[in-house]
Structure 1
């Protein structure tokens, strides 16, 4: 028996085929097919010929590649009985349930008494699919590996792009050629990790940044995960994503993958980014759509653990004067927390630092028309803490394990631990008018454990339900836990602990494919960066922050009057533009000159744009290369000007161009020849505005 299923979004189509009641194969995923496409003919057209003498037909590459189908590559599931014997599935079709935007397929293996359920949801407006899978077993089993529905990857591609990185240097894109064999990426740190962001791009051979076919994948899970991209000897390719679990210790009757988000774009890599950002903003983040994003001030790099209420009031007043609208009190406010090696877990306000509690500081902040936020690191505990002394049995791992930042991990899968944390956080949210939580996570887990991640989701949901107006930021030593799973329970991410604006420029440029600007925190750091030691101009630091959700994280008392005026001016520009920028179409702008990192943000009415062109290093050219724009109306005329002329230190000798004039140019010219930039020093940001001419 043959079964076929089709799911569409506005711009793409996904087709599944099941032969002889076996698990289905993904036979088409790409640009939307005509509504009258004949699926029987399509099924015939994709049938594989072969020429080896190994098997009498090409083994099926299904959504769960099985050994019983003689599949020669990486299997989609590896499981064992409690006796250690390997279980090999042979699932056959049981039933389906198809709706306008979703499909559920159930398959049964009577011999091992298991069912496999595949669920696909299509999101028309954001041009996205989510796929997940579940295995239910009548008998308890060990699950060594279970992939989300396996995707047949395109064969008209030479390479794939994924991400490495480290603390302070997240989102380092990596290009890997397709070759016969397996490309494996895995996080065993128990979090998404700085080094293994769970995203993958597969551009086809005709693809570029803003044109051609590109396929995007993201696994929405905040714990350990694995990605397998394999090319078989016959040329077919598969992509698997799934959880990394400590399965030797955990048996069960039900196993479910996280959601795998996929999207195809006919407009290159940036087109994939547009779909992912839209989906996060409209379907994952739980925040009012008309929410005005406040300018942040975070006190961490101004005071660290040296909390003095009078100094904090002074800092708050100066931050407000510059334009801050939210004040976040970072680490060091709770009892005994004078350094990084004590007191985590003891979530009581330090009466030595705050004799009357936090209210006097909060009242001052509110008098400045700023909201108040507070830092927590609930998942950790210091060995030097009352909590650890009372409950040493609450930690994950061995008591003599290596510490991370002088701390251990609380096992929040223990219900008493979850209840304790909810009680302590709830007490503070009830006593004080706290509108924002910076939720930090500063060490890796001693071993990957899915129950820790699931329990974190439960705890966050409890807090969100009890305090629905409190916004939560996900921070994990910066970008160590950024994924769509954590974003179902939070509303902002701290992209990196590095406030080095040159490094931030690169990180933001890569992360914009996956994260909306409105949830991506970016702060103006100190003159001398605390993570790199590099000294960078204030104008550059400010404009890099203005590309995303803007904030400050330095001591405003150290700013000169001219610095305050400059930062206030950039902040005011961001406030005037933040609402349209939140919904902007953002395209990265490749440049032959690699010293330029650039993007264009175009408003929803398509009559205004801003280009951020960052000079990240000295150019190899003596004269700037034109920056080719994208996404404009080719037949329209635009008035184009350099907004921040006074912030550019130019090496140039020309007395014309953007430094002096507003230019009237066609979209055709801007998207073919490009815009001639001024010759600028490194660490300069050119902010170019364009408006459609009447």
Structure 2
């Protein structure tokens, strides 16, 4: 007996099949099947042969491959009873529910007392699958591994793209060949982490930004996680995501985070746009519209808070175009450096003898919203909180410290109550519209209860202060995922304000993140994380590619730098309404020194393209930059937004250097734009407006 289910829209289809009431497996995942396609023949056709040296029947790569079926690879569930004895459940179907584009399938093993539930849905607006596994037991059990619903990596794919990185260099991509055996990445840092963004793209060698098959995955969880990408000896492949190994405790009920996935035959941009739209419309809630120009004072003052200096900085930031002013680390306890006061969330009377009100009143009088920095999950040993409650620390007393700090046990209700009360006292007494929520070290132990506790505190604060926007910062990009984005409206992509690093980081993060939630700031002339000195034009236009902000001492700017920054900020404000809802498409460039992307408006009437030359090109003259995502039959008026930056060593006469042009989308995507010559570490900004032929 074969039972089938179909989740699909006009872009993709996912077909499941169960044989004889056993756990279902994916028998088709790809382009949308036509209406009327019979599914049972697909299920029968997916049955693979057996030959010498094999067992007599292939165990299915089901939504949770089972040890009881002699599955030869990573199983979807590793579970023990309360005494530690290994259980090998043998699930059979119990019930099914289907409503529109959601399917809930329940399977049971009465002998083991276990129930496994698969919650599968496809969001019609964004064509993104959302898949989750739940496990229930009649007795206490120990779960060492529970995978979200397991998906196949089809045989015609032969490469995968993983995401790694480090502090100040997040979202590094690593393109690897698919090979026999298991590629396992077990992130046990307790947070999403710089080095383990929970994403994966399975593709072919020929897949590019604009063409080819891509299967993209993201695990929406803010704690430690594990990824398994495996090719079995028989050639089948599977992809698993779940919480980090051993992060789940003893209990009777367990669930994975949602696994988001999608297929596209139009390259990495096809999957990227779906993730971007899903974050923008389905994940992030209550974001300010329009997105305000952001100013953060950290790289201007660090811990040296002086009211008159801050007022002066606020004056200058507002003059440059800022609409939000964020007071960063150093306003609380006796916080003169990073060795003290985390946990003591009361205003420092030495720095603010009259409290924060004089600064807030000044900021708001300038027309800016006021924001403030917190690091709620952390504690210093030199703090009143630690002296009162050393038992609130997560992990052993002799653990290695991280950045001079320890971690609070967020699974404890009394810890969360304390933090809620401390934060509420400040947030409720002042006109505060924004919180930058930092998290500056890995955890001493991996425990899902820590993340659950953080989520609970976030959710409680969101209810109490619905007018406040939250930013997720974890030494920059150490906690960026769809789980934290359900509770925040912005992420701090990296602590690096080096515009060249930012170009690469933003480019790769766009595979999952839209511009509207991705904070990008104009840093100081002399970058404190790289030591480089970068011109204002590249710094400003790089920030203008995402949610724009400043993070430097604006009093250091020369008149020319200030003029450039004002002009770019005005350009961003004039275009942000459509830019913050635009699709970001990465461009395939012939010159590897060029990082380029195009942002196309929702209504397809306009676009902005950015082409940065990160280093010297190997050839003398620039190659044409081919665009993407346009209507080939439409005509567009093209101009250079920063035409006045053409250098005198550009001595020729490319058309765009002196005037606008009108050409077809077909020309722009097939041939591309010939841009004026420029020095490295500069950028061209191309504007396009759809016009009649």
CA distance in 1 between counterparts of 2:179 and 2:380 reads 47
Matched residue, 1:183: 183
Where 1:485 maps in the other structure, the secondary structure is helix
Where 2:409 maps in the other structure, the secondary structure is coil
What is the Cα deviation at residue 635 of structure 1?
A: 2.2
Matched residue, 1:118: 118
Matched residue, 1:326: 324
CA distance in 2 between counterparts of 1:392 and 1:461 reads 26
CA distance in 1 between counterparts of 2:571 and 2:686 reads 13
CA contact 2:210–2:588 (8 Å) conserved in 1: no
Q: Given the superposition, is the C-alpha separation of residues 423 and 10 from structure 1 closer, same or farther in structure 2, using an over 3 Å criterion?
A: farther
Matched residue, 1:415: 413
CA distance in 2 between counterparts of 1:348 and 1:613 reads 46
CA distance in 2 between counterparts of 1:625 and 1:650 reads 19
Matched residue, 1:273: 272
The CA deviation string for residues 229-250 of structure 1, in whole angstroms up to 9 with x for no partner, is 00011111000000015458x3
Where 1:145 maps in the other structure, the secondary structure is strand
What is the Cα deviation at residue 150 of structure 1?
A: 0.5
CA distance in 2 between counterparts of 1:336 and 1:43 reads 66
What is the Cα deviation at residue 57 of structure 1?
A: 2.1
What is the Cα deviation at residue 649 of structure 1?
A: 3.9
CA contact 2:376–2:437 (8 Å) conserved in 1: yes
CA distance in 2 between counterparts of 1:101 and 1:124 reads 8
Per mean C-alpha deviation after superposition, the further-off stretch among 496-505 and 32-41 is 32-41
The CA deviation string for residues 373-425 of structure 1, in whole angstroms up to 9 with x for no partner, is 00000000001000000000000111121111100000011111000000000
CA distance in 2 between counterparts of 1:40 and 1:569 reads 61
Where 1:654 maps in the other structure, the secondary structure is coil
What is the Cα deviation at residue 81 of structure 1?
A: 1.5
State yes or no: 1:451 paired with 2:449: yes
CA contact 1:10–1:124 (8 Å) conserved in 2: no
What is the Cα deviation at residue 208 of structure 1?
A: 2.3
What is the Cα deviation at residue 34 of structure 1?
A: 1.1
Matched residue, 1:615: 613
Alignment TM-score, normalising by the size of structure 2: 0.98
Where 1:625 maps in the other structure, the secondary structure is coil
What is the Cα deviation at residue 185 of structure 1?
A: 1.4
The CA deviation string for residues 249-289 of structure 1, in whole angstroms up to 9 with x for no partner, is x311111100000111121110100100111111111115x
CA contact 2:276–2:583 (8 Å) conserved in 1: no
Matched residue, 1:489: 487
The 5 A counterparts of 1:109-188 are 109-188=109-188
The CA deviation string for residues 318-364 of structure 1, in whole angstroms up to 9 with x for no partner, is 00000000000000001200001100000000111111100000000
Q: Given the superposition, is the C-alpha separation of residues 329 and 242 from structure 1 closer, same or farther in structure 2, using an over 3 Å criterion?
A: same
Alignment RMSD (CA, Å): 1.2
The CA deviation string for residues 151-179 of structure 1, in whole angstroms up to 9 with x for no partner, is 01111111000111000000000011011
CA distance in 2 between counterparts of 1:88 and 1:53 reads 24
What is the Cα deviation at residue 21 of structure 1?
A: 0.7
CA distance in 2 between counterparts of 1:544 and 1:52 reads 59
The 5 A counterparts of 1:593-672 are 593-649=591-647, 651-672=649-670
Alignment TM-score, normalising by the size of structure 1: 0.98
CA contact 2:146–2:242 (8 Å) conserved in 1: yes
Matched residue, 1:384: 382
The CA deviation string for residues 552-575 of structure 1, in whole angstroms up to 9 with x for no partner, is 000011011221111011000000
Give the paired residue count. 692
Unaligned runs of 5+ in 2: none
CA distance in 2 between counterparts of 1:666 and 1:351 reads 63
CA contact 1:154–1:204 (8 Å) conserved in 2: no
What is the Cα deviation at residue 650 of structure 1?
A: 6.2
CA distance in 1 between counterparts of 2:205 and 2:342 reads 51
CA contact 1:9–1:128 (8 Å) conserved in 2: no
Matched residue, 1:505: 503
Where 1:47 maps in the other structure, the secondary structure is coil
Matched residue, 1:569: 567
CA distance in 2 between counterparts of 1:632 and 1:80 reads 54
Q: Given the superposition, is the C-alpha separation of residues 629 and 51 from structure 1 closer, same or farther in structure 2, using an over 3 Å criterion?
A: same
The CA deviation string for residues 167-203 of structure 1, in whole angstroms up to 9 with x for no partner, is 0000000011011101111211100000000011112
CA distance in 2 between counterparts of 1:682 and 1:13 reads 45
Unaligned runs of 5+ in 1: none
What is the Cα deviation at residue 651 of structure 1?
A: 4.2
Where 2:414 maps in the other structure, the secondary structure is helix
Where 1:563 maps in the other structure, the secondary structure is helix
CA contact 2:297–2:328 (8 Å) conserved in 1: yes
Where 1:261 maps in the other structure, the secondary structure is strand
What is the Cα deviation at residue 47 of structure 1?
A: 1.9
CA contact 2:247–2:446 (8 Å) conserved in 1: no
State yes or no: 1:349 paired with 2:357: no
CA distance in 1 between counterparts of 2:426 and 2:204 reads 52
The CA deviation string for residues 468-514 of structure 1, in whole angstroms up to 9 with x for no partner, is 11000000000000000001111100000000000000000001111
Where 2:571 maps in the other structure, the secondary structure is helix
Matched residue, 1:517: 515
What is the Cα deviation at residue 10 of structure 1?
A: 3.6
Q: Given the superposition, is the C-alpha separation of residues 308 and 466 from structure 1 closer, same or farther in structure 2, using an over 3 Å criterion?
A: same
The CA deviation string for residues 136-163 of structure 1, in whole angstroms up to 9 with x for no partner, is 1111111111111110111111100011
What is the Cα deviation at residue 676 of structure 1?
A: 1.0
Per mean C-alpha deviation after superposition, the further-off stretch among 643-652 and 471-480 is 643-652
CA contact 2:357–2:430 (8 Å) conserved in 1: yes
